[in-house]
Structure 1
Amino acid sequence: MLEKSELRLILRENLDETIRRVNLALRGSGLKGLAKVLSRIGRGAKLPHWYERLRHEKSLPNLDGKTVGSVVEMLLVAVLETHTFASVASPPLRINPARGVDLPDLDLGVKSPSENFCTSEPFFSAYERLIGAGHDILVLLTDYQSRKNTPPLRLQIIKWRYLACTEIADEQLCRIALKHRPWLLAKSESWTQRVYRFLAYVNQSDWRAKQLLRMVDLLDDDAKIRAAIDSTAADFRAQNARRERRNEIPLPDSDFEAIQRIADIHPLHTGVIDAADNWVAETQKDAGRLPNENEWQRLRDGPLDGKIGMSFALQWRYNFGRLFGEPSTIA
């Protein structure tokens, strides 16, 4: 029996052909050859309710986005077993997202966003924004968003990417963390941990946090930090003017004053680190912890090679737009 890592490698090497076959199945082609696997993994060991319609009418019933993801996963598993892994020793594959990974027999997640590029995922640690997830994922971008309003539903996977576990992290935040890591570690391990804590918890919908993130990006250049501080006055006024027009609560003066106080600290980068630390303490309270030993080792030695956008609400919000050449932002 091949190891999970060996099976994942086979999938990566045959990814285009695998997706081609899944798309054929989504068009109702070759479903009979997948029926045995679909029955085994179906609820009650029966063929899924959409099977007959897809086989005979070449379309799916009117399904919500979550159910569409389940259809894609089931067809993917059937193609993997009957084609991709057909010539090697592999176990029967299960779909079990309750265990924290969609395909536990491969240690592989499967994400099926539509053209809005976003999915919601369980939250375990804020540091996942920098170090990534505990397993690889396969991202299958479908055309569900544009197809759902013009029945019958004829779904296709239009783009796809395989991401290693460390790549399931925020691209922008990883870029900043990696850029400054040698310089920060040479200065102080404590500084590095505090900066990385801010990057893990930052919320760019917060005006002060967004300004601080700009300055953290410039951390090794005090002249550029000073210019960034000077530019905040105009932005603060503009933001509050906009809020006033919309009858929204204005930004508090304390946010602006916290940024301006950085200019009184020398060298300026120490002021930025302190201000970022204060923001975490004020907004996250006790939840804004420093990295634990395992997280710190991965932050210090890992690749920090995130490829997606990640923001946090009640769950992680993954934005895969950057993978597919589309702009995406974090909050």
Structure 2
Amino acid sequence: MNTKRFNTLSWRLAGFGLASLVLAALIIMVLFWGASMLLWLNPSRSFWGVKLLRWVINNIGSIPVVLIIGIPLYTFFFLALTKNTMSYVRSISSGVQNMADGNLSFRIAVTGTEELGTLADNINKMAGRLKSAMDEERAAAIAKDELITGVSHDLRTPLTSVLGFLEYVEKDRYADEIELRYYISIAYDKSLTLKKLIDDLFEYTRITSSGLPLRQEPVNLGNLLEQLAEEFVPVLEAAGMSYSIRTDPGPLVIQGDADELVRLYENLFTNAVRYGKEGKQLDISVFRRQDQVVAVCTNYGPPIPAGDLPHLFQRFYRVDKSRSRKTGGSGLGLAIAKSIAELHGGVITATSSRKQTAFETSFPQCIP
């Protein structure tokens, strides 16, 4: 027999009504039995109570008396039996009012498995989802403001330089052609910096937008990094660096978009060249760890302070702002790398010591 069918609010109220009716009927029966005994024990009718009882029976009748007594009794027992249920309804109503007033952290106690318990649970879930949505909206608004602030700050510096040196040229404020070329060269370099920042910003907004399509296919991460490292040799040599790569035997396959993964590791390699060229070496290793394919890019430049490590993948974050501007860093490369990794269901982390700095990515292994 399906007991869940009867464990509902309607069946409970029906049960309370039936129980109230039975209790009222029992009390009426006891009163009727008592009245009958009183009439039987005092046949002379000398007792005033017996006279009153006879008058009520003869002038009012038994049925009206039963109704006059039974209805209040039924009402009393029904209210007494439904007290906890109605108290729970008021508790749900109060909780909904709290949430309507803006307290979305409030939770209604869930008791029982009938409709009221389910209703309270659903209201709590709705409030939780609404709170999460509002928190995400606030976070998005804060992120947008921070992005605008960061972009405005980072664009203003090179743009000011470009305009300043072009003004010198426009107003002929140079001594000779050598000084003219010097001014133009500086303006050109600053323009390249400006273009790099705009390109990185476009790339970041493209990747972090929810609608970015990924061409998912099996990608051998070991082969991809071997090819990319070989293509990166001219950049490494220009910085006085070399590289080594070690890959585990066998396929190191993940599911992903090869073009986006190339962008991820290009950013990591560029970061290693920009900030780790003093160590003269970039080491790359790709291996399996349980059901993950892990790639580690290690450079041997100056260590990153422990306080900066948790913030490395934030937009526009720089460990050394003056040094980063000098090297042309936009502060978006690692944020882009993190976004690409997360789009592929992966994780990127950084560790640093006096000896080395390592960026580790891990992705779920693709099993054919």
Q: TM range, normalised to the smaller chain?
A: under 0.3
Normalised to the residue count of structure 2, the TM-score between the two structures is: 0.18
Structure with the larger RCO, 1 or 2 (CA within 8 Å, 6+ apart):
1
Higher helix share: 2
Normalised to the residue count of structure 1, the TM-score between the two structures is: 0.20
